[in-house]
Amino acid sequence: MRSGELQHSAYAYDERFFQTADQTAAAAADGLLPHLAREIPIRSVLDVGCGRGVWLARWLRYGATDIAGVDGPYVDPKRLAIPPSAFRALDVSAPFSLGRQFDLVCKAERARGYKPDGTLFRYLIRESGLSVSQILHSGQSQLTDMVGGKPLSLTIAWINRRDLDLSPDVPAPDFIFSGLEPLPDLLT
């Protein structure tokens, strides 16, 4: 392992990884959150697997007043985009409790279902209080995002960054985009 490189499980999280993740998160959040925040009054946000907390920092700009980020001990607390008091270094692959509630949080374990099984999607629909027609699900995986969500009549936007061909076994998404930038236009 090189100096300055953090290791967790089979993944190496070096500075280049975090810089790329931070830039991608900032661009996606700046494109999406202004529109989302106008539609849904989210005040408390939990981001599990938050990295340095760039999404959470953007949520603070767009109305959230209470944030919490959880990720592994490989995140350097001196490089956080959020206050260190809002970050917890925990093993996110194991069950944990923060001893509090947030506006909407769903872990597969709580829903007792894993993508692509529709149980997770049905749980989110029920707990959100929204109708299926009010939900836009975006994701990168043909299997876990489209196979699970499309049979429930969810509107699906496939983020196809690698310009892959759609598998014949996968229900066609409603939208195909090469990145997250077009998503805000779908929310208006």
Tokens of 166: 């759609």
Question: In the block, which residue shows the tokens 């196979």?
Answer: 147
Q: Where are the domains of the chain?
A: 1-104, 106-188
Query: 87 burial class (0-12, 13-18, 19+ CB within 10 angstroms)?
Result: buried
**25-28: long-range contacts at Cβ-Cβ below 8 A with a sequence spacing of 24 or more?**
25/51, 25/54, 25/55, 25/58, 26/54, 26/58, 27/180, 27/181, 28/55, 28/180
**Which option is the CATH number for 106-188: 3.50.50.60, 3.40.50.1970, 3.40.50.1000, 3.30.1330.60?**
3.40.50.1000
Using a cut of 0.85, tell me whether the model's pTM lies above it: no
Per-residue confidence (pLDDT) for residue 21, from 0 to 100: 82
Q: At 181, is the secondary structure helix, strand, or coil?
A: coil
- Sheet with 136-139, strands from edge to edge, namely 136-139, 155-159, 175-177
Extract the residue ranges of the chain whose pLDDT is less than 50.
Answer: 1-10
**Mean pLDDT score of the chain, rounded to an integer?**
80
What does the angle CA 103 – CA 107 – CA 108 come to, to the nearest 5 degrees?
145
Residues contacting residue 117 through CB under 8 Å, at least 6 positions apart: 148
Per-residue confidence (pLDDT) for residue 36, from 0 to 100: 76
Per-residue confidence (pLDDT) for residue 31, from 0 to 100: 76
Per-residue confidence (pLDDT) for residue 107, from 0 to 100: 54
Residues contacting residue 160 through CB under 8 Å, at least 6 positions apart: 140, 176, 177, 178
Per-residue confidence (pLDDT) for residue 60, from 0 to 100: 93
DSSP class of 79:
G
Per-residue confidence (pLDDT) for residue 188, from 0 to 100: 62
Residue 135 · residue 183 · CB < 8 Å? no
Per-residue confidence (pLDDT) for residue 87, from 0 to 100: 96
Per-residue confidence (pLDDT) for residue 108, from 0 to 100: 56
Note the pLDDT tens digit of each residue in 45-83.
Answer: 888 888 899 989 999 998 899 999 998 898 999 999 999
